[in-house]
Structure 1
Amino acid sequence: MTETEHSPAVQPFEAVAARLVDVAMGRAKADLVVRNARWVNVHSGEIIPATDIAVAAGRFAYCGPDASHAIGPDTAVVDAAGRYVVPGLCDAHMHVESGMVTVTEFCRAVIPHGTTSMFIDPHEIANVLGLPGVRLMHDEALVQPVNVWVQMPSCVPSAPGLEEGGAVLGPKEVAEAMGWPAIIGLGEVMNFPGVAANDPAMVGEIAATRRAGKTVGGHYASADLGLAFHGYVAGGAEDDHEGTRMEDAAARVRQGMKAMLRLGSAWYDVAAQVRAITEMGLDSRHFILCTDDCHSGTLVRDGHMDRVVRHAIAQGLKPMTAIQMATINTAEHFKLEREIGSVTPGRRADFLIVSDLCDLAIDAVYGRGVRLASAGKLEADMPAHAYPASAVDTVRLGRALVADDFRVKAPEGSGDDAEVRVIGVVENQAPTKALTARVPVVDGIALADPDNDVCRIALVERHRASGGVTNGFVSGFGYRDRCAMASTVAHDSHHMIVVGTSETDMALAANRLGEVGGGVVFFSDGKEMALIEMPIAGLMSNERAEIVAEKADGLIAAMRAAGCTLNNAYMQHSLLALVVIPALRISDKGIVDSADFKIVDLFV
C-alpha cells in the first residue's frame, strides 16, 4: 500500500496486535515511519522532540527516539523535519445535514482541515425519514476513510405535543439501533423537561443506551440551573453543548458532565465558557470542543475543528490544552481512548503534521496511516455516495400556495395596528428572545413592519401534504426590500420555514422548493435571486461541497442585498422552529413559548 492510497477499513486491535508488537520489537517492518517529529503527547501534556513514529496495519506501533529498526525496503518514510505530529482532531457533536451535503461530501470538506473523527447525530434526517433515514447515514458513515460514529437520535419529534414532524422514534427503535456497528450512543436528549419529569419515552431511551454501555448525549437549553437542571443531570445525560455562559460550563462539569463548547457557523459559545478554565481554574480534562452546526461555506473556506482549536487558543488556552479538548478528552468521553485521540501505540494512526502549533497550520493529514490530504488539498479518492429514491421527493405541500396563505388576519376591532408576539433572533446564538411589537393593520390584515425590523414568518407543513400554514412574526433579519427566503431545513421537525416582507414572494419561494424537492431559495420583488437544491430528504445536496458553498455565497449575497446584516442568517433561519430552545419559536401547531413549553396566541 502506498502512502496516499484510500484508507482501508481499520482492523480490530486484537487482529493486528501481534504485528504491532513485532514492528515495535524490530521483528517486522512498518508500513510508514515518520522521522524527526515533535511529538504532541496529549496524555502527558508534553511536546517531545526528535521522535520517530512507526505505523503498521493502520495503527501506531512505535513512538520513540529511533524507529530505524522498523524500516524496511517497502516502508514509506516521511521526514517531519522538526514539525509537530498532532492527533487527528475529533468533532464531539455535529450534524452532517447542517453542512447541506452528504456524509461523504462532509468528510471530503473537513479532512484537509484535520478532522479525522466525527460524532454525528442525524436527527435531521430522522425527523423526515425515521429509522430508515438514520440507517442510510449510518451505512454511509461506515465506508469513509476517517472515523464517523453515529449517535442514535433521541427526540423525534423533539417536543411531543408542540410539533409533529415526519416520523416518531422511541425506546424500541433506540434499542434496535444500539446493535448497529457505528452507533456510539444516544444523540442529544433535547426533551429536558421530559427527562426531569421522568417521561417514560425518555427514561426508556436512556436506559437502553446505558444497558448497551454507550454514551448519553445531552442538550439542556435553559439558563435555569436550579432543580430542573439537577433533575436532568440525574436522568443520565453525560454531556451538554447548549451552555452559553461561564457558569453554564462550570455547572455541568461540577455535576460530572462534559461541557462541550461549540463554535459553529452561527454559534459562538467558546469564548464565554472557556473562562471556566482560564479564569476559574477548572480542570480542562472535562471540557470538549465541537462545532454542532457548520454549513458548507464555513467548511470550505474557514475550516472545521482546526478553526475551533485556533479560536480556543485565541481565547487564552494553551495550545496543548486546546488540542486535548479536541482529541483525547473526546475519545475518553465516548470510551474510545484505546482507538483514537492520541499518537500512542495501538491507536488508529490518525494524525496531522503541523508546522505551527499556535496557528495549527496543517501540512498533511493522515487517516489510518494513509495520507489523505496535504497543503490543504484532499488526496483521497472518495466517490460520491448515491442515496436511494426513498430518500428524495420528501417535500409534499399538497397544493400550490398563494399569497393569501401568508396573510395574517388581525383580531376584530384592531384599528390601525395590533400587538403581536415576535420571535427575536439573537446574533451568533441559538436561543431567541420573546418580543412583542405593534404592527400595522390594513384592511384587517396584520402586516410586516420592515422599518422596525419586523418580518413575517410562516411554517409550511411538508410531510403529510396537509397544505397547513402557521403564520407569525420575527425580528432581527433587517430585511428592507420586498423579499422572502424559504428553507426545508427547519430544525428539528423540518417542515418549511419562510421568512419575508412580501406575502407574494413568500408564496413564490415556498412553491419553488416544492418544485425542486427541498433546499433554500431567496426571492426579491418576484425574482429568484438564489437557490440551493437539497433533494435528499429536503436537507442535503447531492453536489460537491465546493459547489454548494458557491451557491451558499449567492444566497448570503442576496440576503445582504435585501438588508440582512446577521453574521450567518441562514443558520439563524433554520433554527426558528426549534421548539426545545427558548424563548419563542414557530411550529405546525402554532407559536410556541419554549421557556414554558406551551402554545401561545400570536396576538397579545
Structure 2
Amino acid sequence: MTEYLDTDAHGSLQETSKTLVAVARGDREPDVIIRNGDLVNVHTGEVMPGTDLVISEGRIVRMTDTGAVEAGESTEVIDADGQFLSPGFLDTHVHYESSMVTATGFCRGALPTGTTGAFMDPHEIGNVLGLDGIRLLLDEAADLPLKTFCTIPSCVPAAPGFEDAGAVIGSADIEEALEWDDVIALGEMMNYPGVVSGDEEVHDKLAATYETNKRATGHFASRETGAELDAFIAAGISSCHESIRKEEALARLRRGMWTMLRQGSAWKDIPETIKAVTETDVDTRHLLLVSDDTHPDTITEKGHLDRVLRVAISNGLDPVTAIQAVTLNAAEYYGVDADLGALSPGKMADVVFLDDLATVDVSRVMVDGSMVVEDGEWVDEGALPSESEHTAAVHEVFPEWARDTVKLDPQPADAFEIPAPEGASEVSAEVVRVHENQVVTSRESATLPVEDGAVALDGDISKAAVLERHGGDESVGRGFVTGFGFERGAVASTVAHDSHNLLVVGTSDEAMARAAERTIELDGGMVAVDDDGVLAEVPLPIAGLMSDLPLSEVSERVHNLEDAWEALGCDLDSPFMTMSLLALAVLPELRITNRGVVDTVGFDFIEPVGAD
C-alpha cells in the first residue's frame, strides 16, 4: 500500500504536482538548485558525478548534468562542490525512549548525522502509559523536522503471565491505533511462541493489521531456522531484527523476509550478521540496517545511522549497497517510496551531503528542500526549542501524570533477601549470565553459601531484584546474575525492558535498598551507589524512561554513570543497556521479572535456589 506524505511547508504530491511539472518543463523557476554533486543513485546502485538536483515545493523536480538548468532570480543555488549526495537515512526499527530523551532530543541528536526519518516502535512508553503515552510522544514528534512514523506496539506487556506492566494494549486498542494517521505498521511481534502456537489474541492483532493493509513487523528471537521460522513468516510477519548469526540472517533473507541487521549501543550484531551478504552472492533488496536501541552518548559521540553504516562498510559491505539499505529498501518496506528513499523526480528533497562515501562523513543535511544542518550545527533555529527552553517545552507536551509513574514506596534491606531452604548451609543457585554486546543470556548453576538463613553471594555473582512499580500488587522477583563484575555497591533503573519495573542489581541488600530508594525519589531513572552514598544518577521522570533535559546534558550524566559503574567493578560496554534486558522475558535464556525467575526457553518459572 502506497502512502503519500505531506511536506511540512508545501503539502502532498497531489497538491503540488502541477507546480513540479511546470518547473520541470522550464516554465517556472525552481526554488533551489544543488550544483555539482556526486549523486548516490540508489535505484541503479551507481554514483553519478557532476549532477545537479533541481528542487521545488520541497521536492526534487529534475536530476541533470551540472549547469543544465538555469537559476531564476529567486532561486537558491547550493554548491555541493563534489560532495556525495545521498537520500536521507531512514531507521526502520528504533525506540526513541532508549536514547533517554523524548522525540525533540532524539531529533536534535540524530538528524545532524543524516537520519531524516524513523519508524519508531514506542512500546517502552506504551508499557508504562499505554496508548495515551504513545499519543503524547507522537504529538511531540509531529512538529519536528525528523519524519517520525509509528509502528504500534503489538506486545504490551511483552510476556503476559510472566510480568506486570503499567498498561495493557489489547487487540481492540491496536485496531483503534491502526487508524491513526501516523501509524504505519504493527510493531515488533515479540510473542513469537504465541504466533507459532496459534494464540488467538496474537492472531487477532495480526488480523487487525492486515485488515488495514499494513505490515506486521517481527521479533523472532529464537535461534531456530526451520519450521518455527517458517511458521512465523507464514503468519504474514514480514521483517525481523533479531538475527545474531550469519545463518539466521541468511535464513530470513532466503525466505523473503526483510532482514534488519542491528547495531545499537550494546547490541553489536552487524560484524557477524553482515556475513550473510558479504560471504554469499544473495540479493540485498530486502536488507535493512537499524539502530534499535541507542544511548544518548552514542548518538552525540559516534552518530546514529551514519555509525551503523560505517560498521557495515568496514565489515565488507559496498557503500552504495549500505546506503540502499537505509534509504530505498527502507522506504519500499513501509510503502513510503513514492516520497522517500531516493533522490529522483517527485521525491521529497531530504538530502545528506557526504564528504566521503566510505566513512559516511556527513557535512550538511537538507529536509524538504531546506538546509537544516551545516557542519553538524543546526542552522534552522526555529526547528527546535533552544536548549534553555528544552525542559519547559517537554513539560508542555508531557503533563504531570506522565511524570509521576513510580508508584512504589522505599523498601527495607530485608526485602532483597533470598531465603535459603530451612537448615541448608549452602544452596545450588540458578544464575543468569549476561554477555557483553549481546541480547541473549545463558543459564548457569553455582553453589552459594548461606548466612543467617539467607543466601549469600560469592565471586562474580550479584543479586538482582525486580519490583513492580506501576501501582499494582507490589510483587518482587529475586534472583542471581553474573557477568557484570561488581565488587561492591548496587545499581538501580526504571528502564527494565519491557514492563519497566524497578530493577536493582547489587552486592548487598543494604546497597540495593539505597539504590532503589534514590531511584524512587527521582520519579524514575538510573542510579549507582556505594557504601558512602550516590555515585551518579540520571533522572528520567518522563514515564521513568526519558529525561526532560537537553540531549547534551543527558549524555554527560550517562558518562558519569558509566564511570560510577566502572568504579563498582563493571567494565562492560554499555552495561546498563545490558542490565535493562535482564527482565525481558521474550529473549533467551533466563530472565528475572517482578514475578520471579523465568526460563524463556521452556517458558516457565523456576526457583532461584534449591538445597545443594
* Fold shared per TM-score above 0.5: yes
Match of 2:419 in 1: 409
| CA distances 1:503-536 after superposition (whole Å, capped 9, x unpaired) | 1111111111111110101101141011111111
SS at match of 2:209: helix
What does 1:284-363 correspond to in 2, within 5 Å? 284-363=284-363
Deviation at 1:334, TM superposition (A): 0.6
SS at match of 2:609: coil
Q: Which region of structure 1 is more displaced relative to structure 2, 148-157 or 56-65?
A: 56-65
Equivalent position amino acid for 2:399 in 1 = P
Equivalent position amino acid for 2:411 in 1 = L
Distance in 1 between residues matched to 2:246 and 2:493, nearest whole Å: 33
Distance in 1 between residues matched to 2:10 and 2:99, nearest whole Å: 26
Match of 2:584 in 1: 578
Q: Does the alignment pair 1:527 with 2:533?
A: yes
Deviation at 1:425, TM superposition (A): 0.3
Q: Does the alignment pair 1:232 with 2:215?
A: no
Distance in 2 between residues matched to 1:377 and 1:570, nearest whole Å: 29
Distance in 2 between residues matched to 1:252 and 1:413, nearest whole Å: 52
Match of 1:278 in 2: 278
Distance in 1 between residues matched to 2:238 and 2:513, nearest whole Å: 43
Distance in 2 between residues matched to 1:496 and 1:542, nearest whole Å: 20
Q: Contact 1:9–1:143 at 8 Å: present in 2 too?
A: no
Q: Does the alignment pair 1:462 with 2:472?
A: no
Match of 1:260 in 2: 260
Deviation at 1:227, TM superposition (A): 2.1
Distance in 2 between residues matched to 1:438 and 1:94, nearest whole Å: 40
Q: Contact 1:105–1:545 at 8 Å: present in 2 too?
A: yes
Q: Does the alignment pair 1:479 with 2:479?
A: no
SS at match of 2:520: helix
Q: Does the alignment pair 1:512 with 2:481?
A: no
Distance in 2 between residues matched to 1:67 and 1:536, nearest whole Å: 51
Q: Does the alignment pair 1:391 with 2:402?
A: yes
| CA distances 1:6-33 after superposition (whole Å, capped 9, x unpaired) | x835521111111111111111122211
Deviation at 1:448, TM superposition (A): 2.3
SS at match of 2:352: strand
What does 1:61-100 correspond to in 2, within 5 Å? 61-66=61-66, 69=69, 71-100=71-100
Equivalent position amino acid for 1:469 in 2 = V
| CA distances 1:308-346 after superposition (whole Å, capped 9, x unpaired) | 001100000111111111111111111111111111111
Q: Please, what TM-score do these two structures have when normalized by structure 2?
A: 0.95
Match of 1:130 in 2: 130
Question: Which stretches in structure 2 are left out of the alignment for 5+ residues?
Answer: 1-6
What does 1:150-299 correspond to in 2, within 5 Å? 150-299=150-299
Match of 2:506 in 1: 500
Q: Contact 1:54–1:70 at 8 Å: present in 2 too?
A: no
What does 1:422-441 correspond to in 2, within 5 Å? 422-441=431-450
Deviation at 1:441, TM superposition (A): 1.2
Distance in 1 between residues matched to 2:239 and 2:465, nearest whole Å: 33
Q: Contact 1:109–1:300 at 8 Å: present in 2 too?
A: yes
Q: Contact 1:35–1:78 at 8 Å: present in 2 too?
A: yes
Distance in 2 between residues matched to 1:414 and 1:9, nearest whole Å: 72
Distance in 2 between residues matched to 1:531 and 1:511, nearest whole Å: 12
Q: Contact 1:430–1:581 at 8 Å: present in 2 too?
A: yes
Equivalent position amino acid for 1:414 in 2 = A
Distance in 2 between residues matched to 1:517 and 1:10, nearest whole Å: 42
Question: Which stretches in structure 1 are left out of the alignment for 5+ residues?
Answer: 1-6
Distance in 2 between residues matched to 1:426 and 1:439, nearest whole Å: 21
Distance in 2 between residues matched to 1:159 and 1:389, nearest whole Å: 28
Equivalent position amino acid for 1:391 in 2 = A
Distance in 1 between residues matched to 2:582 and 2:376, nearest whole Å: 35
Q: Contact 2:413–2:509 at 8 Å: present in 1 too?
A: yes
Q: Contact 1:33–1:67 at 8 Å: present in 2 too?
A: no
SS at match of 1:130: helix
SS at match of 2:85: strand
Q: Please, what TM-score do these two structures have when normalized by structure 1?
A: 0.96
Deviation at 1:413, TM superposition (A): 2.7
Equivalent position amino acid for 1:555 in 2 = L
The 1:26–1:70 alpha-carbon spacing in structure 2 relative to 1, beyond 3 Å, is: farther
SS at match of 1:224: coil
| CA distances 1:71-100 after superposition (whole Å, capped 9, x unpaired) | 212111111111110111111101000000
Match of 1:3 in 2: none
1:542 to 537, 545, 548: 548
Number of residue-to-residue matches in the alignment: 593
Q: Contact 2:475–2:595 at 8 Å: present in 1 too?
A: no
SS at match of 1:337: coil
Match of 1:421 in 2: 430
Distance in 1 between residues matched to 2:235 and 2:422, nearest whole Å: 47
Distance in 1 between residues matched to 2:266 and 2:179, nearest whole Å: 34
The 1:119–1:331 alpha-carbon spacing in structure 2 relative to 1, beyond 3 Å, is: same
Q: Contact 1:26–1:70 at 8 Å: present in 2 too?
A: no
Distance in 1 between residues matched to 2:271 and 2:284, nearest whole Å: 14
The 1:584–1:26 alpha-carbon spacing in structure 2 relative to 1, beyond 3 Å, is: same
Q: Contact 1:42–1:324 at 8 Å: present in 2 too?
A: yes
Equivalent position amino acid for 1:530 in 2 = A
Distance in 1 between residues matched to 2:111 and 2:526, nearest whole Å: 26
Distance in 1 between residues matched to 2:335 and 2:531, nearest whole Å: 54
Report the aligned-residue RMSD: 1.2
Q: Does the alignment pair 1:569 with 2:575?
A: yes
Distance in 1 between residues matched to 2:180 and 2:10, nearest whole Å: 17
Distance in 1 between residues matched to 2:188 and 2:31, nearest whole Å: 39
SS at match of 2:157: coil
SS at match of 2:285: helix
| CA distances 1:247-271 after superposition (whole Å, capped 9, x unpaired) | 1011111222111000000001111
Equivalent position amino acid for 1:492 in 2 = D
Equivalent position amino acid for 1:388 in 2 = P
Distance in 1 between residues matched to 2:155 and 2:235, nearest whole Å: 15
Match of 2:373 in 1: 373
The 1:435–1:378 alpha-carbon spacing in structure 2 relative to 1, beyond 3 Å, is: farther
Distance in 1 between residues matched to 2:10 and 2:410, nearest whole Å: 50
The 1:266–1:302 alpha-carbon spacing in structure 2 relative to 1, beyond 3 Å, is: same
What does 1:38-77 correspond to in 2, within 5 Å? 38-66=38-66, 69=69, 71-77=71-77
1:599 to 590, 605, 610: 605
Equivalent position amino acid for 2:147 in 1 = N
Deviation at 1:54, TM superposition (A): 1.2
Deviation at 1:280, TM superposition (A): 1.7
